[in-house]
Amino acid sequence: MTKQLINFQNKTIPVFYTSMNKKTLTALLTALDSKMKNGKKAIKKCLDTLISIEIIGCEAILHSKRESDTLALSLF
């Protein structure tokens, strides 16, 4: 797996993936911003405690400090 760092909410978050293009990264950043602004309480809680992201196909697995808050987010 390859690792890339992104900045989200003034934090550096590692993103792990096997293959990713600029379109996927753009979709990820757009989805994270959208969910932070318009998401429900569960997604905002996950984003507040986000520690890493794993890209699998067209989904982003958002890993948070509490394993029970980990979520999958569709990118396309």
Higher-scoring residue by pLDDT: 64, 69: 64
- Per residue in 8-60, pLDDT tens? 999 999 999 988 788 898 999 999 999 999 989 888 889 999 999 999 988 99
What domain count does the chain have? Answer: 1
pLDDT of residue 6: 94
Residue 76: which pLDDT band, with cuts at 50, 70 and 90?
confident
Containing domain of residue 47, as a range?
A: 2-74
For the beta sheet containing 59-64, the strands, ordered from the edge strand earlier in sequence to the opposite edge, are 2-8, 11-17, 50-56, 59-64, 71-74
DSSP code string of 30-69? HHHHHHHHH--HHHHHHHHTEEEEEEETTEEEEEESSGGG
Quick check: pTM over 0.75? yes
3-state secondary structure of 27: helix
